Amino acid sequence: MQNYPKNVLLISGKRKSGKDFISEKIVNRLGADKTLIVRISAPIKSHWSKLHSLDFDKLSGTDEYKEKYRKDMIQWGEQIRREDYGYFCKAAIDMFGAMQKQIWIVSDIRRQTDIRWFMENFGAVVKTLRLRAGQDVRKQRGFIFTPGVDDVESECGLDHFNNWDWEFQNNGSDDAEKICMAVEGWIYSEN
């Protein structure tokens, strides 16, 4: 049995900063045979869809369907985290079968407890990346400020965290290329 993971990249950023786009770009460049996107929000959406007989695929998408339930999902998730801050981290690893892949891209780190959990469990192989995008760019990508969503811990919990391995602007394709090159350099130097 392989000793996986060999690399864990924790990506954080505000809504519409490009976390999913960058995560998918990295997987495409490194290869899906050894790289996997782990989404902490996926088990939240899965549990929520089962509890309320909702469409999981639509809840995982980017349209209004998800936005209609986002605030309630956040509140419910916070309640679970108060009991076990690593609950959804563990659930996401299981849900995606992550232990079978060398490289994990955790695309939606939102809280200091998320970082803490991964550092406690995989510390030596973990790197953190904060994506930033200009307000105008985020609006072009569909961002609309929503009270109760954009002003709570799920969006603001890492605003004052300053211990990032990398911080990048993600306002376009040149930025995306720089981000991918930095991550690839780290991955290839470690493997």
Reported pTM: 0.90
Kind and range of the H or E element at 12?
strand 7-13
What pLDDT sits at residue 69?
85
Placement of tokens 């899906």 in the chain: 32
**46-78 pLDDT per residue, tens:** 998 898 998 888 888 767 887 788 888 888 888
Q: Hey, is 71 helix, strand or coil?
A: helix
Strand partners for 109: 12
For residue 2, what pLDDT is reported? 62
Q: Domain coordinates of the chain in residue numbers?
A: 7-190
**Element containing residue 32 per DSSP (H, E):** none
pLDDT at 158 over 70: yes
Give the residue-averaged pLDDT of 145-167. 90
CATH number for the region 7-190 comes to: 3.40.50.300
Residue 191: which pLDDT band, with cuts at 50, 70 and 90?
low
Find residue 130's DSSP bridge partners.
12, 167
Q: What residue has token string 């890492």? A: 158
Given a cut of 80, is residue 186 above it in pLDDT? yes
Task: Note the pLDDT tens digit of each residue in 79-107.
Answer: 999 999 999 999 999 999 999 999 999 99
| pLDDT at position 4 | 86
At residue 105, the pLDDT reads 98
**What mean pLDDT do residues 15-34 have?**
95
For residue 93, what are the CA distances in angstroms to 2, 99, 146, 173?
A: 16, 7, 29, 30
State the pLDDT confidence band at 1, using cuts at 50, 70 and 90.
Answer: very low
